């Protein structure tokens, strides 16, 4: 029975500009949650081994398409994982053939499966040159890595040490600063983003939690991701940026599933699985900020404009109920492994209608 007092909001069907859907049984378990809601998604290439060539991106795309539930319309947009040895010609061919949408920079050892990442940005300058020429966006995991850099400072250091120099050397290169977590990043992108060469994705969880979430009454592995959540003032800056209506900010959930066993461990994996409720939680955040009217730009319009693709022609309806949402149960892989979803720390009332 639909709740007669519910508030509804209909927007063009959104896209998710940053997802990890994994492969094999994990892919089959998690993909339906993304595919049912989002029309398109930028697929992260950090598999084991990583997706480093156009040929591998094509094979991975086939595997993803085979896992889309019957009757669901969903387009995976593929990325390749840059290494010190990436061949610029392979990227250009893959882009021209429509196989690759973007390339991903993981500084070596920055996050899950990033050990093959780029060891020195200068090593990929020929690749960046090529990408700038053909208009292929560079997606960056924006964290500087080094024994002397505090984990909470990595993003701010990356802006100074890598992002600013790269933007100076490649002024026309389109860059997406992925899953930003700091006021420094939000301010930098807001100031520079109007040139249409720099944008940022923001996750639902970074809009909802600060770093205290990881330590509430004990260590809470399901709130641990990279870049790690920061202080409250940074969360507030992200909410301001996302809900500002600025075209340089758009939706990227960074849903990053790991099995319960891999997270609840002495060395637990980084990653928050938010595909089932992320869109509804963005609505919750925009509503609480009194900015629901800006959700459509953030979720459905700014990303397509930056990537140069049309806004999706179909629509999706969000519904706000009087009763808070019930907790999402862990989902199960074919092998009976549990994946625990993101649980917001305060009640949320929004949901997606009819799916």
Rank residues 254 and 296 by Cβ distance to Zn ion and give the closer one.
254
- Residue 46 touches which member of Zn ion, ligand NCD, none, C-beta under 5-8 Å by kind: ligand NCD
Based on CB atoms, which residue is closest to ligand NCD, 45 or 351?
Answer: 45
Residue 278's nearest CA partner among 203, 177, 176, 222 is 203
Q: In angstroms, what is the minimal distance from the CB of 255 to ligand NCD?
A: 9
**Smallest distance from ligand NCD to CB 141, Å:** 6
Rounded Cα–Cα distance for residues 281 and 241 (Å): 16
Dig out the tokens for 300 from the structure: 């459905």
Asked whether position 46 contacts ligand NCD by CB under 6 A, the answer is yes
Is residue 271 near ligand NCD by the rule CB under 6 A? yes
List 25, 254, 287, 354, catalytic entry: 254
Structure tokens at 150: 């505090």
> Based on CB atoms, which residue is closest to Zn ion, 41 or 299?
41
What DSSP assignment string belongs to 218-273? S--GGG--SSPP--HHHHHHHHHHHTT--TTEEE---B----HHHHSSTTPPP-BB
* Token digits of residue 110: 């920055």
Q: Among Zn ion, ligand NCD, none, what does residue 243 contact (CB within 5–8 Å per kind)?
A: none
- Euclidean distance between CA atoms 233 and 206, whole angstroms: 12
Q: Which is nearer to ligand NCD, 20 or 230 (CB)?
A: 20
As measured in angstroms, the least distance from the Cβ of 354 to ligand NCD is: 30
* Pairing verdict, β 75-81 and 40-43: parallel
CB 57 within 8 A of CB 79: yes
Query: From the CB of 16, what's the least distance to ligand NCD, in Å?
Result: 13
146: CB partners within 8 A, 6+ apart: none
Q: How far is the CB of 93 from ligand NCD (least distance, A)?
A: 26
Q: Is 16 a catalytic residue?
A: no
Residue 16, contacted partner among ligand NCD, Zn ion, none, CB below 5-8 A by kind: none
Exposure letters 38-56 (e unless 16+ CB within 10 A, then b):
bbbbbbbbbbeebbbbbeb
Residue closer to ligand NCD, measured from CB, 262 or 289: 262
Q: Which of residues 250-269 bind ligand NCD (CB under 6 A)?
A: 254, 256
* Catalytic residue positions, numbered: 254
List contacts with ligand NCD (CB under 6 A). 20, 46, 111-112, 141, 225-226, 254, 256, 270-271
């Amino acid at each position: 029975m639909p709740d007669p007092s519910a508030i509804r909001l209909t927007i063009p069907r959104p896209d998710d500009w940053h997802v990890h859907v994994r492969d094999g049984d994990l892919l089959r378990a998690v993909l339906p949650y993304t595919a049912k809601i989002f029309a398109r998604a930028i697929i992260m290439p950090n598999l084991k081994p990583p997706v480093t060539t156009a040929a591998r991106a094509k094979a991975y795309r086939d595997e993803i398409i085979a896992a889309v539930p019957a009757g669901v319309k969903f387009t995976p947009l593929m990325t390749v994982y840059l290494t010190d040895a990436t061949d610029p010609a392979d990227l250009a061919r893959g882009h021209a053939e429509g196989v690759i949408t973007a390339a991903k920079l993981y500084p070596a050892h920055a996050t899950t499966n990033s050990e093959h990442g780029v060891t020195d940005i200068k090593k990929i300058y020929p690749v960046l040159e090529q990408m700038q020429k053909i208009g292929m966006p560079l997606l960056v995991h924006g964290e500087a890595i080094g024994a002397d850099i505090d984990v909470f400072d990595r993003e701010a250091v990356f802006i100074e040490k890598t992002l600013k120099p790269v933007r100076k050397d490649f002024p026309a290169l389109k860059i997406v600063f992925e899953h930003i977590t700091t006021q420094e990043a939000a301010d930098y992108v807001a100031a520079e983003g109007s040139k249409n060469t720099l944008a940022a994705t923001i996750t639902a969880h970074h809009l909802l939690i600060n770093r205290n979430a990881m330590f509430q009454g004990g260590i809470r592995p399901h709130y641990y991701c990279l870049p790690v959540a920061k202080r409250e003032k940074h969360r507030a800056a992200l909410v301001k940026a996302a809900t500002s209506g600025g075209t340089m900010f758009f939706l990227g959930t960074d849903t990053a599933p790991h099995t319960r066993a891999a997270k609840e461990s002495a060395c637990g994996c980084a990653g928050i699985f938010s595909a089932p409720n992320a869109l509804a939680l963005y609505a919750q955040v925009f509503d609480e900020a009194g900015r629901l009217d800006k959700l459509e730009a953030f979720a459905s319009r700014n990303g397509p404009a930056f990537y140069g693709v049309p806004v999706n022609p179909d629509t999706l309806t969000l519904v706000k109920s009087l009763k808070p949402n019930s907790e999402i149960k862990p989902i199960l892989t074919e092998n009976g492994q549990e994946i625990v979803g993101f649980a917001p720390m305060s009640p949320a009332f929004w949901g997606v209608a009819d799916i």
